[in-house]
């Protein structure tokens, strides 16, 4: 089952070769996609109804969307582009507000006690609440989604930056002071690198929460964007539209997780040993620790 069986030298017989190929991790991934498709196809055959669209229909819908052929008011590129634009603006505001607050909280105890409970409550607040409140306050348009993104992300920024400031190694600061390292170089080479993982965590978790909130805000407080388009298909009772868009959402999530955050963390943490560059997350493809 485990890695030990994988590293066994391949036996000459073709049957054993096939077994070895099947045991490779890559084939596991491919097989998981295939088995999902098969299960889905079987489900549509067993439960013949309008509710569950067959895979072929959904794939056709997705292909049309990719070619920008659609009956929805917005093409795939327009809707996701607009959503990411709102996300970017909202996140920028969240970082602009959250970073100074986080710094203050990390450096001064009174500020921390003053704000702590409210930040924790904000952290636990479902983004649905932010979306609906922003919708009631700002009505339909760009403002409500952007504000939702900011509200959903800002507490993550504050808490992570504060934690980061508390984690700057004091010995390193003392040593750079003793060796007369200039202030700018201390910030650049000591404070900045040790704050970086926390900045990164803020970006990642803030991003995830904001993305979820944004989609909700688009459904109830907007008439454009990716969230609104999936709701459009829902209201139009087009099941292939809902499933197709849901798959687009999942693909975008995987893409961001694998490409953007994976690459970015490798770049940002290039000063670390190769094994600890990944943000600790068990579902990622971190090198196996249990060994053979």
Partner 1 sequence: MATNAVESPDASSSPQESDEKAQLNAQLRQQQRAERRSRWFWRISGYVFFFGLWQFASSFLVADFIVPPPLAILEKMRDIIVSGEVWVHFGATLSTIAIGFTVAYVLGAALGMLIGRSRWWESFFGDWVMATLTTPGLVFALLTAMVFGLGQLGPIVAVIITSISYVTVNVVEGVKAMPEDLVSMARAYRRSRWQIVRHVFIPFLAPFFFTAVRYGFSIAWKIATLTEVIVGTAGIGFMMRREFQSFSMTGFLAWVLLFFAFALFLERVVLQRQMKRVLKWRPEVAK
> Cβ of residue 225: shortest distance to partner 1, in angstroms?
12
The structure tokens listed for 51 are 């509710």
Cβ-based nearer residue to partner 1, 105 or 161: 105
The distance of closest approach from Cβ of residue 276 to partner 1 in the complex, given in angstroms and rounded to an integer, is 15
> What minimum distance in Å lies between the beta carbon of 208 and partner 1?
6
From the CB of 174, what's the least distance to partner 1, in Å?
23
Q: Considering beta carbons, is residue 199 or 211 the nearer one to partner 1? A: 211
Q: What is the distance, to the nearest Å, from the Cα of residue 97 to the centroid of all Cα atoms in its chain?
A: 21
What does the binding site for partner 1 look like in residue numbers (CB under 8 A)? Answer: 1-3, 6, 23, 25-26, 28-29, 31-33, 36, 51-52, 109-111, 113-118, 121, 124-126, 128-129, 132-133, 135-137, 208, 211-212, 215-216, 219-220, 227, 230-231, 234, 239, 242-243, 245-246, 249-250, 253-254, 256-257, 281-285, 288-290
CA dihedral 267, 203, 207, 283 (to 10 degrees): 60
| Least distance CB 10 / partner 1 (angstroms) | 17
Q: Which residue, 77 or 118, has its beta carbon nearer to partner 1?
A: 118
Cα–Cα distances (Å) from 136 to 26, 82, 93, 220, 231, in that order, read 48, 21, 21, 9, 19
DSSP states along 209-230: HHHHHHHHHHHHH-SSSHHHHH
Q: Say how far apart CA 25 and CA 162 lie, in whole Å.
A: 40
Which C-beta is closer to partner 1: that of 59 or that of 132?
A: 132
| d(C-alpha 131, C-alpha 145), whole Å | 7
**Which of 84, 249 has the CB closer to partner 1?**
249
Tell the smallest beta-carbon distance from residue 12 to partner 1 (Å).
23
**For partner 1, the closer CB: 86 or 176:** 86
CA atoms in the 13 A half-sphere facing the CB of 239? 10
Nearer to partner 1, 195 or 211 (CB): 211
Per DSSP, helices labelled H in the chain are 3-6, 14-23, 25-46, 55-66, 76-107, 109-124, 127-138, 143-166, 170-178, 183-186, 192-221, 226-235, 239-255, 262-268
Could you tell me the smallest distance in angstroms from the CB atom of residue 215 to partner 1?
Answer: 4
């Amino acid at each position: 089952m485990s890695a030990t069986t994988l590293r066994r030298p391949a036996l000459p017989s073709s049957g054993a070769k096939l077994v070895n190929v099947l045991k490779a991790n890559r084939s596991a991934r491919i097989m998981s996609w295939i088995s999902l498709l098969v299960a889905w196809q079987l489900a549509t055959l067993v439960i013949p109804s309008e509710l569950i669209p067959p895979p072929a229909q959904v794939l056709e819908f997705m292909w049309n969307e990719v070619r920008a052929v659609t009956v929805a008011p917005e093409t795939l590129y327009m809707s996701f582009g607009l959503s990411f634009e709102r996300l970017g603006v909202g996140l920028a505001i969240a970082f602009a507000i959250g970073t100074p607050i986080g710094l203050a909280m990390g450096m001064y105890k009174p500020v921390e006690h003053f704000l702590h409970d409210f930040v924790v409550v904000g952290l636990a607040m479902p983004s649905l609440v932010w979306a609906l409140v922003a919708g009631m306050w700002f009505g339909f348009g760009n403002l409500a989604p952007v504000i939702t993104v900011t509200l959903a992300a800002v507490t993550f920024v504050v808490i992570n930056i504060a934690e980061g400031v508390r984690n700057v190694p004091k010995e390193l600061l003392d040593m750079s002071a003793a060796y007369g390292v200039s202030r700018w170089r201390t910030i650049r080479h000591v404070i900045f690198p040790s704050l970086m993982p926390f900045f990164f965590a803020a970006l990642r978790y803030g991003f995830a929460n904001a993305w979820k909130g944004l989609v909700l805000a688009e459904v109830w407080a907007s008439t454009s964007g990716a969230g609104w388009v999936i709701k459009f298909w829902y209201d139009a009772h087009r099941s292939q539209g809902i499933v197709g868009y849901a798959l687009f959402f999942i693909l975008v999530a995987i893409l961001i997780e694998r490409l953007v955050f994976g690459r970015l963390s490798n770049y940002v943490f290039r000063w670390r040993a190769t094994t600890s560059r990944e943000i600790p997350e068990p579902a990622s493809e971190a090198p196996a620790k249990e060994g053979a």
